[in-house]
Chains A and B, each alone.
Chain A
């Protein structure tokens, strides 16, 4: 029976992952997983919890939290530990899609968005990593983005925040390697979620949260390091990373 701590549990990708984990355990009554769900909105958390409960979760505990307020993190971790005992998988799935133009006009908006997407994640990871180190097992799965691979004029605030988390994860992975704790950096491309509802995205490149979740769950099981989701983004990003800086700055991406 696996125990999952999900921070940003009401995001479309996180919910799909939780369902996928339940599906994987279906038919094995002794394997029914437990969840500790963290999100901002109590109503959304309740709706998510009821769904997972109906789908066969052993226990679902919810807690609201404003993750940008780093001071709340220790208490959050303590109640999650009290509910679950230990963590098999910690999934960090929250984030925001900042308005790049607003970030360019106003430094405080830029820093606020950076705090949500980067510094608060780093703070959480630091805290959770210390606990996981003691556990000597488990997986830290962090959702970043393909946007972190290159700074693009259209969303470099978001991109730089994700890049910070990715690089942090790379170092953390190496540090925890000897302890048996796995750190997975999950980099999704375009996903059809409420976050991208208003965007005009190239249809063929857009994945559903369910497709993304299936790959994440497989990646967690196989203890991968970096996971592009769907896989074809690895190819796209390899090409994009290969564009020399002199040319890249002239592209309006």
Chain B
């Protein structure tokens, strides 16, 4: 069936023509054909990257989603080998009943295994477990020059490091083997407590992150003045009892793309006030499923459509420890003044686990992520002010979410980029990479 693909933010609008890869054994032939026809291409997973890092410069992508087979599992040691197009949801469906979970999971289970590696994604346990790439034993990499290689910390270590967080540019990830996490129950004991200011967040995170496996905070991005940075702190741990249940509930779907964004100043203010008020003032312990805890938005299919035809952009930065509190406060004030933003604003403290990835985004510090409905002046106005604050603080932005970062900011944030460029497969090029390395 003929179709075209966009990134998750539906911006920038460069529809991608997918070229399906139904079999792993036929990947070399498909890759060769595509690069003969279009010079460069890029592997496309399930389209969960927000900006243009998953868009091919040629707009012709190798669609990897059909490579969704498992290759081998070792339930004794918790090792899973699968093709790159398998989604994290499919991995969980297989593993949870056996008492295993992903060691690191991002906020959606609809990302693919290959995408999770290429973006070196992180999750609510970064302070304990680091990034997804920290738990990748080895993977198969197909390069236009060398053919199929197996990369691990021992074999082709340079390519192993460059591919983790390498935005799909070092070769096509064919398959990967990851280490899993033992769980006794798939339930989560969740601790919730709202906070009234940014200082309170830092205090809570200081106190509770060390005792809990998972933690994250929701931030009310429209709160101003003394309430700047108010939000809800959520921490959790896997329960020790309660069964091993795969959670697949998908209740709602956004069926069409509305002409204009449904997220606006009014809806945002009303929602945020209600959400903050609803959260418990005092520390509350409540058991729940893993899906609402890790993947609250996966319950609404196509939620990215609520931002309308123009799509949205996510702004995610990390600010080093030293003056994180002051910098976060400056960022949140700059955002609150405009009244822009969205329901989804997240604050999380990163730990100091080092990823093997060359261009891995997380670093010790605090990360802020929030969505903005796309509108005229967003990049020239608010984003430019935020970029200046991040630059000044020696922070950096997450390429997987980005559609606007300047080449200068990219090079300052990722000084290792030239090593990745040297290892990049010349037959692979993304719109993101072409934009920031120009």
Contact = CB atoms under 8 A, between A and B. Distances in A.
B24 A47 contact: yes
A201 interface: yes
Contacts of A196: 1
B312 to A, nearest CB: 24
B72 interface: yes
Interface of B: 1-3, 20, 22-25, 66, 69-73, 82, 94, 97
B69 A43 contact: no
B1 A206 contact: yes
B97 A12 contact: no
Nearest to B2: A200
A51 B22 contact: no
Nearest to B98: A56
Nearest to A54: B70
26 contacts: A12-B22, A43-B23, A43-B25, A44-B23, A44-B25, A47-B23, A47-B25, A47-B69, A48-B69, A50-B69, A50-B71, A51-B70, A54-B72, A54-B73, A54-B82, A55-B94, A192-B1, A194-B20, A197-B20, A199-B1, A199-B2, A200-B1, A200-B2, A201-B1, A203-B1, A206-B1
A32 to B, nearest CB: 13
B25 A197 contact: no
Main secondary structure of the interface of B (DSSP, over half): mixed
A27 interface: yes
A64 to B, nearest CB: 14
A197 B26 CA distance: 16
Interface residues of A, number: 22
Nearest to A197: B20
Contacts of A27: 97
Given A54-B72, A206-B1, 19 more contacts: A26-B97, A43-B25, A44-B23, A47-B23, A47-B24, A50-B70, A50-B72, A51-B69, A51-B70, A51-B71, A54-B71, A54-B94, A190-B1, A194-B66, A199-B1, A199-B2, A200-B1, A200-B2, A203-B3
Contacts of A199: 1-2
B6 to A, nearest CB: 15
B300 to A, nearest CB: 20
From A50, A192, A203, name the one whose CB has the most chain B CB atoms within 10 angstroms. Answer: A50
A192 B66 CA distance: 11
A85 B94 CA distance: 28
Task: Give me the 9 closest cross-chain CB pairs, A-B, nearest first.
Answer: A54-B70, A51-B69, A43-B25, A194-B22, A54-B73, A192-B1, A201-B1, A200-B2, A51-B70
A200 B251 CA distance: 30
A197 B94 contact: no
A203 B97 CA distance: 35
Interface in A188-222: 190, 192, 194, 196-201, 203, 206
A157 B25 CA distance: 31
A35 to B, nearest CB: 14
